[in-house]
Amino acid sequence: MFLGIDLGTSEVKVVLMDEHHVIRAGRGVSLSISRPHPQWSEQQPEDWWEALLRACDELTSTHAHEMRQVRAIGLSGQMHGAILLDQQHHVLRPAILWNDGRSALECSELEASVPALRQITGNMAMPGFTAPKLNWVQKHEPDVFAKIAMVLLPKDYLRFRLTGEFVSDCSDAAGTLWLDVAKRDWSADMLSGSGLTREQMPKLVEGSEASGLLSVALCQRWGMSAGVVVAGGAGDNAASAIGMGAVESGQGFVSLGTSGVIFAVSDQFRPNPESAMHAFCHALPNRWHQMSVMLSAASCLRWVTKLTGQVNEAELLAKVASLDEGALANAPIFLPYLSGERTPHNDASATGSFIGLTHDHQAAHLGYAVLEGVSFGLKDGLQTLLSAGQTIEELTLVGGGARSDYWAQLLANILSVRMLTADGGEAGGAVGAARLAWLAAGGSVKEVCQPLPTKQVFEPNSASTSERLALRYETFRRAYPAIKAI
């Protein structure tokens, strides 16, 4: 058995997977986000740890036999977060998350102080990355900054609590802006730009390598044998790729989670930072990936469901599915920038909008506008990847949004690519973490990183639909700069 742990923004998810790629059991524990000021987004690392303990304790209670057979543990997690520890390994302040936008000014200052930033990191400085967060702390919380002995990413804090080791992997570290992504090592120039040194950074391993052993106390707590290996793991999107079997150049997926991602594997480091596209290390050695990121995706659907007073998302989706072509053509246009935006705008101050509202619009029209607007945002990202030389004909859909056939078909129509859903695709990050655990325990890439069984295929459909969507996409594309100007 292999245990996969995925630390998301809204949930800690754990799965038990066997050597036949069968998910034997899983648990999820919800998390909340604190937004004490505009553009701030924080969580308490202790909440992550308590959620993980609860999930694993429940699995031990219900699946004790399977837990006793766990040979290795893998980690996946939300990227870019900053967890600051002092000399006694105490957390100095709440973790600043990936969707926190407070450090826009520090991004400009960092690029000015390290002119080679984009060449070293393969990315432009954005508030979501870890480095500008530390520059913000240095400026606004100097007492905290002076006490920093170690900086960890979210999943690596869980690793520390599991093993006592300070380790990160190359895929997650690539999202800090401190990594020389081509060399897969910390950059002294980038660390200096944030007032930090290599001694304050964790050791680096590949995602498929061992990073330590589960503590004896936790082995006893969960009924496991001593010597359980903890793999390097990966950032959430690289882990999802491993979970989907996307490990060769040209393979990729769309993730519809809290954020929205289009991910494409590359056998070379191919940066294109000027278009706000990310170029990161993959979770396996000698592999990289390109990625477009929008900050609000399935979270927009949760928001509009609550806003319109629906019982749940399924109720709203059913109402959306009942709309005819005329209603769809006259629905509002939605800009999905509820938490700012990355690709292609790199604008932490961007805000969401409904455009073209009338008295005739009801919850279903708003729901459709949100699904379409998020899909248009992903189309912006896809075009950025294609402009960098990627060739993409099909994508696998993962994340919470993968549960909706309606949204999958809409994405196929808007992106003009074949969309696949897969058995187990909803838990891609956790499955990928379990697979990385398997690799760290001695499994081969060919044996472990197999594609998940295809559940459904969604082909782009009729010319009339394409024409309607093309007209609406043009309005969407023109709306952001017009609204930004006012």
The parent domain of residue 166 ranges over: 2-244
Residue 28 inside a domain? The answer is yes
- Label residue 36 by pLDDT band (50, 70, 90): very high
Residue 478 inside a domain? The answer is no
- Count the Cβ atoms, other than its own, within 10 Å of residue 21: 18
- The residue with greater pLDDT, 197 or 463, is 197
Residue 348 inside a domain? The answer is no
Q: Average pLDDT of 396-419?
A: 90
The one catalytic residue among 100, 172, 236, 347: 236
Report whether 449 contacts 243 (CB < 8 A).
Answer: no
Residue 148 inside a domain? The answer is yes
DSSP string covering 167-227, please? EEEHHHHTTTT-EETTTTEE-HHHHHHTT--GGGS-EEE-TTSEEEE--HHHHHHTTPPS-
Provide the whole-model pTM: 0.83
Residue 255 inside a domain? The answer is no
- Label residue 163 by pLDDT band (50, 70, 90): very high
pLDDT tens readout for residues 109-152:
999 999 999 999 999 999 999 999 999 999 999 999 999 999 99
- The answer, yes or no, to whether residue 464 has pLDDT greater than 80, is no
Going by the annotation, the residues of the binding site are 79-80
Residue 56 inside a domain? The answer is yes
Residue 327 inside a domain? The answer is no
The helix/strand/coil state of 255 is strand
Tokens 């005739």 -> residue: 360
Average pLDDT, the chain: 94
At residue 145, the pLDDT reads 98
Q: Average pLDDT of 390-401?
A: 82
The helix/strand/coil state of 157 is helix
Number of domains in the chain: 1
- The answer, yes or no, to whether residue 424 has pLDDT greater than 70, is no
Q: Average pLDDT of 396-411?
A: 88
192: CATH: 3.30.420.40
The helix/strand/coil state of 444 is coil
At 111, which helix (H) or strand (E)?
helix 104-113
Look up 236 and say whether it is catalytic: yes
pLDDT tens readout for residues 115-125:
999 999 999 99
Residue 216 inside a domain? The answer is yes
Q: Average pLDDT of 100-108?
A: 95
